[in-house]
Amino acid sequence: MRRGRPVVSLGIVSLITVFTILLFAVFSVLSLSGSQSDSVLSDRAACAVSDYYAAEAQAEQRLQELSAIAANDVETPLSERLEAAGFEIVVNTSYPGTVVVYSTPVDDQRVLRAEVGIGEHGKVERLYRQTILTGQ
């Protein structure tokens, strides 16, 4: 008797190899696509955080400017000095001193709003600080 060829032919092995390579190619394309979108998202998040902390630093500088104005004991009334420096004074508050509001832009869509109270003897204290969407 003659020995026959093996049951598995070369055609099936080639098909399995091609299918496996195709599967690896699809998964690598999906992996690259996912990593690119993650990279874009992380860049946007880093930019947003950087913008926020830059605005936070500007708000702190405005607070120091406000403290210097409040501590300065001159003949001009405090309200006139604050308005001349560009601060907005809030009226009809329950705070026992002067309440000042100022805003610092974060980016095109957000603004950092701070409310500060000036008490007796020019003591400055933060009442609140909040990020507000401008809706643009």
Ranges of each domain in the chain: 10-133
Beta bridge partners of 125: 117
Q: Looking at this protein, which amino acid is placed at residue 67?
A: S
In this prediction, residue 80 carries a pLDDT of 85
Q: pLDDT at residue 8 above 60?
A: no
Give SS3 for 74.
coil
Cα distances (angstroms) measured from residue 51 to each of 45, 110, 126: 10, 10, 21
Most confident range, picked from 81-95, 99-113, 114-128: 99-113
Q: pLDDT at residue 13 above 60?
A: yes
Q: Looking at this protein, which amino acid is placed at residue 66?
A: L
Question: How does the average pLDDT of the chain come out, rounded?
Answer: 87
